Amino acid sequence: EADIYQTPRYLVIGTGKKITLECSQTMGHDKMYWYQQDPGMELHLIHYSYGVNSTEKGDLSSESTVSRIRTEHFPLTLESARPSHTSQYLCASSAAPAGGSDTQYFGPGTRLTVL
Amino acid sequence: GQSLEQPSEVTAVEGAIVQINCTYQTSGFYGLSWYQQHDGGAPTFLSYNALDGLEETGRFSSFLSRSDSYGYLLLQELQMKDSASYFCAVSLNQGGKLIFGQGTELSVKP
C-alpha cells in the first residue's frame, strides 16, 4: 500500500496569492513528481526530482517552483496564483527500478481554484 | 515530439470483455504501463509490459508489440466498479519519466 499524502485536498484562493501545495511520502522513494491534470484530460508532468537537492522541469511549462530538501517532502509553490492555474495537481513517487517497472504511486491530489 | 493515442471513451456491459488500445510514437521506449483513475482521484498502477507479449494480472491483462508501437489493456468479467478512466503511459528509458496518453473513459452498464 502506497503512503503518499497531499495537502490541502481542495483550495480556493484569490488571484495574486502565494500558495504552497504539500506532498509527502513515507516509502523512502528517491523519485518524486508533480503532474497537472484538467478534468477529463491527460496528466502533464510539470516537475520531477530524482533525489535530495535535485529538481527538474517537466514537459509542461509551469510558473510553479519546487524544492527537495528532504527525501520524503516535495512541495510545490506558486508565487502569484492566477485563474489559469486552476487545475488538479497530483504528486507521485517511485523507487529506483530493479529491472522492473518504475511504478509511480500517486497522492489523492489537490484541486486548486483561483478566483 | 511524443504522442500516445487511445480511444476517448468505451462503453460495455457488466460481465463482458473490453479492450483498450494504445499506440505510441515516442523518442525512446523502455516500457508501457497502464493506470486506472476513478473520478479524477489518485491514478493507480495496473500493469506493465517491457517485452512483447501478454501479461496477466487477475481480470486484467496487458499486451505489447514493440515492433508495432502498440499495446492494449484487456479487462474481463467487467464489473460496475471498473467504470473509470484508463491511461497508457510510456517510459522513455529505465527509471525515467512517464509520458501519459489522454485516457479512455470506460463506462460499464448493467
By mean pLDDT, which of A20-29, A96-105, B7-16 is the weakest? A96-105
C-beta atoms of A42 and B101 within 8 A = yes
> What is the per-residue pLDDT for A101?
65
DSSP state of A103: -
pLDDT beyond 60 at B29: yes
Whether residue A97 is predicted with pLDDT greater than 60 in this model: the reply is yes
Residues B39-53: tens digit of each pLDDT: 989 999 999 999 999
Give the pLDDT confidence score for residue B40 in this predicted structure. 84
Q: Using DSSP, state whether A104 is helix, strand or coil.
A: coil
- Give pLDDT, residue A100: 58
The pLDDT of residue A6 is above 70: yes
- Which residue has better confidence, A68 or B1? A68
Do residue B87 and residue A43 have CB atoms under 8 angstroms apart? Answer: yes
Q: What is the pLDDT of residues A42-80, one digit of tens each?
A: 999 999 999 999 999 988 888 899 999 999 999 999 999
Across the interface, of A48, A101, A103, the residue whose CB is closest to B97 is A48
pLDDT at A2 over 70: no
| Confidence grade of residue A95 (pLDDT, cut at 50, 70, 90) | confident
Whether residues A106 and B103 touch (CB distance < 8 A) is answered with: no
Regarding predicted confidence, which is higher, B2 or A1?
B2
Query: Which pLDDT score is estimated for A60?
Result: 83
Tell me the pLDDT band of B28, cut-offs 50, 70 and 90: confident
Closest-CA residue of chain A to B4: A42
